[in-house]
Amino acid sequence: MKKILSIAMALSTLLTVAQSDEEVLKTIYTQSLTNGKSYDWLNHLSNQIGSRLSGSLGAEKAVAYTKEELETLGLDKVWLQPVMVPRWVRGAKEYAFIESERGKTSTVNICALGGSVATPSLGLKAPIVEVKNFQELEALGTENIEGKIVFFNRPMQADLIITFEAYGGCVNQRYSGAVEAAKYGAVGVIVRSMNLRQDDLPHTGSMTYGDLPVEKRIPSAAISTNDANLLSTMLTLKKDIKFYFKQNCKQLKDVLSYNVIGQITGSEFPDEYMIVGGHLDSWDLGDGSHDDGAGVVQSMDVLRLLKESGIKPKRSIRVVLFMNEENGLRGGKKYAEEAIKKNENHIFALESDAGGFTPRGFSFDCSDAAFDQVLSWESLFKPYLIHYFEKGGSGADVGPLKSETNVLAGLRPDSQRYFDHHHASNDTFDAINKRELELGAATMTSLVYLFDKYGVNPINASKEIKK
Amino acid sequence: MKKILSIAMALSTLLTVAQSDEEVLKTIYTQSLTNGKSYDWLNHLSNQIGSRLSGSLGAEKAVAYTKEELETLGLDKVWLQPVMVPRWVRGAKEYAFIESERGKTSTVNICALGGSVATPSLGLKAPIVEVKNFQELEALGTENIEGKIVFFNRPMQADLIITFEAYGGCVNQRYSGAVEAAKYGAVGVIVRSMNLRQDDLPHTGSMTYGDLPVEKRIPSAAISTNDANLLSTMLTLKKDIKFYFKQNCKQLKDVLSYNVIGQITGSEFPDEYMIVGGHLDSWDLGDGSHDDGAGVVQSMDVLRLLKESGIKPKRSIRVVLFMNEENGLRGGKKYAEEAIKKNENHIFALESDAGGFTPRGFSFDCSDAAFDQVLSWESLFKPYLIHYFEKGGSGADVGPLKSETNVLAGLRPDSQRYFDHHHASNDTFDAINKRELELGAATMTSLVYLFDKYGVNPINASKEIKK
């Protein structure tokens, strides 16, 4: 008996050696770089389908296409999860100009913010006043703002290395600018685009009216960084210039849409769920290649790469393609709601929603114990130049799954170019590099493999070893 | 006396605290990202001057422009170092087709390799034979090669993470393909472009004839990856297809050119030289923005950023803009030759010649002691996501300065996109991201600052502390 046991142990050691984590990661990366599907999928999503704003035909086509593609992968289950989503439409191309004196105008590039109301059908012309933040707005007060358009012009901070931090420092102007300005009787809002580059492209994005009654809602638009600079300079030279803009966007009734889900059922712990995902919807100006077509196809490829690399997960691995991250987060909320309703134990969730650029690592929302476990894997990732492992946020769609014991994570690609494209007409397929996209998919797959193999924290892991 | 000493020590501690390395690096990065000059300089170099092949008008203009710009920086010295350089001209645009049968042709995209001879003036048509390497060439031998064109078609290996390694594994086809094929009586050579992407752009680059007499030299050209795939497929279907190409490039007489040098003279050790550089010349198809306009402007900005950050170097810091890296390395050799002649002690040399992409770190050619010193600085770079510190190569131009005690280093930016542009017509300014370029300049400046402050290795450093 002793002899058999030691043979068995030797054999198991041998098998472990034959499939070391180093070797498995090497297989995963090689598969992705030489036999990846993410780039082809994204080519179709971006160039055949195009933009995918919630409730649009593009979003509907993307649901059908990704479900169909997942069905070819030999997963254990592929299904659609119904969810009602808001539907906002941009309407005709927006038009705007600065009027420095009667008859003397400069056309500028704007786009309506997602969720904004329209201007009157002939447009809106009013004096414009520049502020950098809500404190300046308050200091000006009703007497200086009433009847005017407010121009929020606080730029993204260039000296922050992670550009998402610069975005975080500015985005309240876009999201809450209208509701704040309306308090003081403003008639419209123009917001500097969330873009670190000086160029001519306006960047859209979501905004809120909070609980403002319909009749008090004022139209809100983004202006390109070049034109924001122009407007600011003109305001320095001449305080009483006017701004004109015209947009006929509209919020329609909610419509039925879907999260797209595929699953490999776990061989040992089928009731422990690990999910990987991105969001299927995109803004309407570009084709949503980086935000978040990249995350969608990378997540799809995680399940394919696991299979291609001969990995049979112990836990149930799901790819979830969320609908409506951009203007409502209904998909993410619905998925978490259903998971709770069905008492599904989600031990891990990873989102890719920061662009398809070279991956640098992950951000983790988890316990210290789970994070220590992650750090113990750092050297496995070193050959792939993956070095960023920090505690922090994860992703908007997976956020609602947060529990005290699970691990939420977000892929962190190089962020330098991201806001050049974010929510703008140049978020298109030509800005995607195939290898960078594939490295991201491999990096995600590797993390999923490790968490599936070792469980979610040292306590779980040691339990497993003991049994 | 003791009291004075302890006051002095306390004061010195205080000063150190007031200007910690962390703070200095923060200043350098902030300066580069908010007040950098590298992007503007590169805009001029790329869009006003354009390509800068050795001996061309562009190269001449680049010498004059960069000297002029360095002269505005208030350095202690700016000068030109004369060097004779080769002059090769491409002539008319190349033309090529595959002839599967008489009258049935497919046009393909080629470009002459730098240094190649022309085809006969009416072009060259011959049967073509595909090989993957020199072993296959040898195995085929004279009987299968004589009178034919050899097609070298070994692709870059996609599963290598650092793309320069994939380049290293292929470039002998381009550099030595002609001289090897000529041994077996080949009449011409077509080489698959060194490009990881499948596209239509041929990539040029240098090649050699070794000591082959002039009459035995055969023309050599690169073919785009898409067309290499097409040609290979056609050869699989039909062995006896012919290939036609026509190029009228020419090697002219050597001409006088210059390295451009600027210097801040050291305050304590003026005879210890630290240099930072890139190469001013570029291939002729694009405008050389990544290779190596980026390295040129980053190196120039290192000296400016030191000044703007209030750093007064103890050692003499030179920016050296080398001429003729691409097809001769005459500038790098000349600089080292003069340094030896003048007995200048070069303790450190850093080159940026791997593109203007997000910096990841450095590669070091130095002693273990010096490398340990570098590793002790790792945490200083962490806030800037600089994590790659490895022993290895440095840069072609600084290579000739190698001594037993000095440190040679090369900036290592993200390499995923580099070979999409390398030596091709799309190595242009629009492929440059301002922030990525500026992060590179700041990263280089930070390393220069640290080596200037602490000296080149622990032995030097401790000497200094003792004195």
Report the DSSP beta bridge partners of residue A149. A128, A188
Angle, CA B305 vertex, CA B303 and CA B310 arms, to 5°: 105
Query: Do residues A192 and A176 make contact, with C-beta atoms less than 8 angstroms apart?
Result: no
User: Per the CB < 8 Å rule, is A159 touching B30?
Assistant: yes
pLDDT digits (tens, 9 = 90+) for A122-132: 999 999 999 99
pLDDT digits (tens, 9 = 90+) for B356-372: 999 999 999 999 999 99
Q: Which tokens in the block code for residue B240? A: 């006896």
Residue of A159, A383, A436 lying closest to B33 (CB–CB): A159
Q: Scanning every residue of chain B, which has its alpha carbon at the shortest distance from the alpha carbon of A32?
A: B159
Taking the C-alpha atoms of residue B416 and residue A194, their distance in angstroms, rounded to an integer, is 26
Closest-CA distance of chain A to residue B433, Å: 7
Q: State the pLDDT at residue A163.
A: 98
Closest-CA distance of chain B to residue A160, Å: 8
Q: State the pLDDT at residue A444.
A: 99
Query: Binning pLDDT at 50, 70 and 90, where does residue A419 land?
Result: very high
- Its ipTM equals 0.94
Q: State the pLDDT at residue B102.
A: 84
Domains of chain A listed by start with CATH number: 23-87+253-466 (3.40.630.10), 91-248 (3.50.30.30)
pLDDT digits (tens, 9 = 90+) for A283-327: 999 999 999 999 999 999 999 999 999 999 999 999 999 999 999
Q: State the pLDDT at residue B103.
A: 84
Pairing state of beta strands B149-152 and B124-131? Answer: parallel
Angle, CA B440 vertex, CA B437 and CA B444 arms, to 5°: 145
Q: State the pLDDT at residue B142.
A: 98
Chain A residues whose C-beta sits inside 8 Å of any chain B C-beta:
29-30, 33-34, 158-159, 161-163, 196-197, 358, 360, 383-385, 387-388, 414, 416-417, 420, 433-436, 439
Report the DSSP beta bridge partners of residue A78. A262
The arithmetic mean of pLDDT across residues B241-263, rounded, is 98
User: Per the CB < 8 Å rule, is B414 touching A388?
Assistant: no
Q: State the pLDDT at residue A458.
A: 52
**Catalytic site positions of B:** 325
Q: State the pLDDT at residue A49.
A: 98
pLDDT digits (tens, 9 = 90+) for B70-128: 999 999 999 999 999 999 999 999 999 999 988 899 999 999 999 999 999 999 999 99
User: Per the CB < 8 Å rule, is A29 touching B159?
Assistant: yes
Pairing state of beta strands B388-391 and B359-365? Answer: parallel
The arithmetic mean of pLDDT across residues B428-440, rounded, is 98
Q: State the pLDDT at residue A6.
A: 54
Q: Scanning every residue of chain B, which has its alpha carbon at the shortest distance from the alpha carbon of A434?
A: B197
Q: Scanning every residue of chain A, which has its alpha carbon at the shortest distance from the alpha carbon of B33?
A: A159
Show residues of chain B in contact with A420, CB under 8 Å. Answer: 433
Asked if the model's pLDDT at residue B164 lies above 50, the reply is yes
CA B435 remoteness from chain centre: 20
Taking the C-alpha atoms of residue B157 and residue B150, their distance in angstroms, rounded to an integer, is 21
The arithmetic mean of pLDDT across residues A91-103, rounded, is 94
User: Per the CB < 8 Å rule, is B385 touching A388?
Assistant: yes
pLDDT digits (tens, 9 = 90+) for B311-322: 999 999 999 999
pLDDT above 70 covers what percent of chain B? Answer: 94
Taking CA atoms, B391 is separated from A270, B331, B361, B365, B378, in Å, by 46, 25, 11, 6, 14
Show residues of chain A in contact with B197, CB under 8 Å. Answer: 434
Taking CA atoms, A32 is separated from A192, B156, B356, in Å, by 39, 16, 26
Taking the C-alpha atoms of residue A385 and residue B196, their distance in angstroms, rounded to an integer, is 19
Q: State the pLDDT at residue A102.
A: 84
> Across chain B, what does the average pLDDT equal?
95
**Catalytic site positions of A:** 325
Give the number of other CB atoms < 10 A from CB of residue A229.
Answer: 15
Which residue is associated with the tokens 């300089």? Answer: B41
Q: State the pLDDT at residue A463.
A: 45
Taking the C-alpha atoms of residue A193 and residue A155, their distance in angstroms, rounded to an integer, is 8
CA A286 remoteness from chain centre: 15
Query: Binning pLDDT at 50, 70 and 90, where does residue B458 land?
Result: low
Asked if the model's pLDDT at residue A5 lies above 90, the reply is no
The arithmetic mean of pLDDT across residues A404-411, rounded, is 96
Give the number of other CB atoms < 10 A from CB of residue A93.
Answer: 11
> Chain A to chain B, count of Cβ pairs less than 8 Å apart?
63
Q: For the residues of A270-318, what is the DSSP string, one character each?
A: EEEEEEEEEES---SSS--IIIIIHHHHHHHHHHHHHHHTT---SEEEE
Closest-CA distance of chain A to residue B122, Å: 38
User: Per the CB < 8 Å rule, is A433 touching B420?
Assistant: yes
The arithmetic mean of pLDDT across residues A369-390, rounded, is 97
Asked if the model's pLDDT at residue B17 lies above 50, the reply is no
Q: State the pLDDT at residue B99.
A: 97
Q: Scanning every residue of chain B, which has its alpha carbon at the shortest distance from the alpha carbon of A417?
A: B433
Nearest to B418 by CA among B185, B163, B188: B163
Show residues of chain A in contact with B161, CB under 8 Å. Answer: 29, 383-385, 439
User: Per the CB < 8 Å rule, is B159 touching A30?
Assistant: yes
Q: State the pLDDT at residue A195.
A: 98
User: Per the CB < 8 Å rule, is A360 touching B385?
Assistant: yes
Asked if the model's pLDDT at residue B12 lies above 90, the reply is no
Residue of B29, B197, B384 lying closest to A434 (CB–CB): B197
Q: State the pLDDT at residue A208.
A: 98
Show residues of chain B in contact with A433, CB under 8 Å. Answer: 416-417, 420
Burial class of A341 by CB neighbour count within 10 A (0 to 12, 13 to 18, 19+): exposed
What 8-state DSSP symbol labels residue B117? P
Closest-CA distance of chain A to residue B200, Å: 15
Give the number of other CB atoms < 10 A from CB of residue B443.
Answer: 29
Asked if the model's pLDDT at residue A439 lies above 80, the reply is yes
A29, A161, A415, A438: best to mutate for the B interface, most B CBs within 10 A = A161
CA B329 remoteness from chain centre: 10
User: Per the CB < 8 Å rule, is A161 touching B29?
Assistant: yes
Pairing state of beta strands A95-101 and A149-152? Answer: unpaired
> In sequence order, what are the residues at sequence separation of 6 or more whose Cβ sits closer than 8 angstroms to the Cβ of residue B343?
none
The arithmetic mean of pLDDT across residues A366-372, rounded, is 95
Residue of A34, A197, A388 lying closest to B158 (CB–CB): A34
CA A386 remoteness from chain centre: 20
Q: State the pLDDT at residue B79.
A: 98
Q: State the pLDDT at residue B19.
A: 86
Residue of B383, B388, B417 lying closest to A161 (CB–CB): B383
Q: Scanning every residue of chain A, which has its alpha carbon at the shortest distance from the alpha carbon of B384?
A: A161
Q: State the pLDDT at residue B461.
A: 45
User: Per the CB < 8 Å rule, is B414 touching A358?
Assistant: yes
Show residues of chain B in contact with A354, CB under 8 Å. Answer: none
Show residues of chain B in contact with A309, CB under 8 Å. Answer: none
CA A308 remoteness from chain centre: 27
Taking CA atoms, B163 is separated from A384, A435, B247, B310, in Å, by 12, 10, 30, 37
pLDDT digits (tens, 9 = 90+) for B191-246: 999 999 999 999 999 999 999 999 999 999 999 999 999 999 999 999 899 999 99
Q: State the pLDDT at residue A117.
A: 98
The arithmetic mean of pLDDT across residues A195-204, rounded, is 98
Closest-CA distance of chain A to residue B68, Å: 27
> Across chain A, what does the average pLDDT equal?
95
Asked if the model's pLDDT at residue A460 lies above 70, the reply is no
Angle, CA A430 vertex, CA A424 and CA A433 arms, to 5°: 110
Show residues of chain B in contact with A358, CB under 8 Å. Answer: 358, 414, 416
